[in-house]
Amino acid sequence: MSDNQEPENGGGNNNPWMKSLMIWGGIFLALLLAVSMFGGPREAPGTAILYSDFKEKVAEGSVAEVTIAPDRISGTLKNDERFVTTPVPGDVNLTQQLEDANVQYTGTQPEQMNVLLVVLIQALPFLLILGIAFFALRQVQKGGGSGAMGFGKSKAKMLTEKQGRVTFEDVAGIDEAREELQEIVEFLKDPQRFSKLGGQIPKGALLVGSPGTGKTLLARAIAGEARVPFFTISGSDFVEMFVGVGASRVRDMFEQAKKNAPCIVFIDEIDAVGRHRGNGIGNSNDEREQTLNQLLVEMDGFEANEGIIIIAATNRPDVLDPALLRPGRFDRQVVVPVPDIDGREKILAVHMKKVPLAPDVNPRTIARGTPGFSGADLANLVNEAALLAARRNKRLVAMQEFEDAKDKVMMGSERKSMVMTDDEKKMTAYHEAGHAIVAVHEEASDPIHKATIIPRGRALGMVMRLPERDNYSYHRDKMHANLSVSMGGRVAEEIIFGHDKVSSGASSDIQYATDLARNMVTKWGMSEKLGPLQYEQSQEGYLGMGQTTRTFAGAETNKLIDQEIKDLVEGAHKRATELLTKHEDQLHLLAQAMLEYETLTGEEIKVLLENGKIDRPDAPTGPIPVAPSQGSSIPKAGKRFGGGEAPQGA
Identify which of 260, 252, 228 has the alpha carbon closest to the alpha carbon of residue 160.
Answer: 228
Sheet strands (E) in 477-623: 536-540, 547-551, 599-601
Name the 3-class secondary structure at 335: strand
CA distance 224 to 559: 58
432 is catalytic: yes
Query: Nearest-CA neighbor of 430 among 505, 480, 484?
Result: 505
Q: Which of 287, 384, 432, 442 is labelled catalytic?
A: 432
**Bridge partner residues of 540 (DSSP):** 547
Q: Can you state the angle between helices 341-352 and 375-391, rounded to 10 degrees? A: 50
First to last CA, the chain: 67
Indicate the helix (H) or strand (E) that contains 73: strand 73-77
Give Cβ neighbours of residue 638 (< 8 Å, ≥ 6 apart): 458, 459, 460, 461, 504, 505, 507, 508, 646, 647, 650
DSSP designation for 68: E
CA 344 to CA 172: how far, in whole Å? 8
Q: Can you tell me the distance from the alpha carbon of 6 to that of 626, in angstroms, rounded to the nearest whole number?
A: 86
Beta-carbon contacts of 633 under 8 Å, excluding residues fewer than 6 positions away, are: 421, 423, 501
DSSP 122: H
How many whole angstroms separate alpha carbon 637 and alpha carbon 503?
7
Contacts of 534 (CB under 8 A, 6+ apart): 522, 523, 525, 552
Q: What single DSSP character describes residue 452?
A: E
- 589 in Cβ contact with 451 (< 8 Å): no
Based on its alpha-carbon atoms, the radius of gyration of the chain, rounded to whole angstroms, reads 43
For the chain, what is the largest distance between any 2 Cα atoms, rounded to a whole number of angstroms? 148
Active site residues: 432
